[in-house]
Amino acid sequence: MIISNIAILIAMREEANPILNQLKMDMIADGFDNHLPFELYKGIIEEREVHLVIGGKDKVYNVDNIATQPATLSAHVTIEKIQPDLIINAGTAGGFKKRGANIGTVYISSDQLKYHDRRIPIPGYREYGIGAYPSLKTDRMAQELNLVPGIISTGNSLDLTDNDLEIIQSNNADVKDMEAAAIAWVAMLHGKPFLALKAITDLIDTDSPTQEEFLENLSIASKNLGQAIIEVSKYCLNKPLSEL
């Protein structure tokens, strides 16, 4: 079976803008149950239909639906609706200067996705909290497309506590985001191949405040992200999984 149907999940509108514009993607009205805030778009890459889902706005707070709660739900309804044969979670993230990250670097998931903020010190639940959800093997495409292979760790906060940092380090993570592990879990439940692409907006181990760096670099990181999504999609489409 070849890959012919990719679903791309992106949390924030601004992260998605470059690819929406570049592919001139059309929004599909009534994409999902109208209780849900998610927005479904359709475009063409390599003559194949590609679907993109963004989190939409929270009606109460009027901000984008970010982090694991909407990510989990949107992944599930997207898989049910689109029946994709590959799921890509694309977004921005924090990186570590000491692990070689720069603003705008695009990482591709190279190993299992884990959490760093689900601390449950009860036997069995400790490991459950951290989790370990599969990523597709991406070493060949990383090399061919000049993407940086990296380990991604997910939590529900943009800031960083000492506890979180300790677990990020024991996860051996290069990248800190707020959605990837949640989506990887849903992909695993459905038996669907998953990979994540994360463009760095902020360097966690430098002095500048994360939120300022994030807003300053969102546009450049999203531009790089859009490029990477297109390249990865072109690489994967029309190939069997075993040849990736």
By the criterion CB under 6 A, which residues form the site for ligand SAH? Answer: 11-12, 63, 66, 91-94, 158, 176-179, 201-202, 204, 210-211, 214-215
Catalytic residue flag (residue 202): yes
Q: Which is nearer to ligand SAH, 17 or 210 (CB)?
A: 210
Residue placing its CB nearer to ligand SAH in the complex, 46 or 216: 216
Instruction: State which residue, 83 or 208, has the beta carbon closest to ligand SAH.
Output: 208
Least distance between ligand SAH and beta carbon 124 (Å): 27
Rounded-to-integer distance, Cα 158 and Cα 11, Å? 14
**Distance between CA atoms of 151 and 30, rounded to whole angstroms?**
36
Please give the residue whose beta carbon sits closest to ligand SAH in the complex: 94
Q: Please, what is the minimum distance in Å from the beta carbon of residue 213 to ligand SAH?
A: 8
How far apart are CB 98 and ligand SAH at their closest, in Å?
15
Apex CA 63: angle with CA 62 and CA 68, to 5°? 130
CA separation, residue 235 to residues 3, 74, 139, 145, 213 (Å): 10, 25, 13, 8, 31
Active site residue: 117, 177, 179, 202, which one?
202
Q: Is 15 designated active site?
A: yes
- Minimum distance between the CB of residue 199 and ligand SAH, rounded to whole angstroms? 9
d(CA 202, CA 209): 9
Nearer to ligand SAH, 107 or 235 (CB): 107
Reduced to 3 states (helix: H, G, I; strand: E, B; else coil), residue 227 is helix
Residue 90, classed as helix, strand or coil, is strand
Per DSSP (E only), the strands in 16-165 are: 26-27, 39-45, 48-54, 86-95, 106-109, 114-115, 148-150, 152-154
Kindly name the residue from 15, 39, 179, 213 that is annotated as catalytic.
15
The catalytic site residues sit at 15, 202
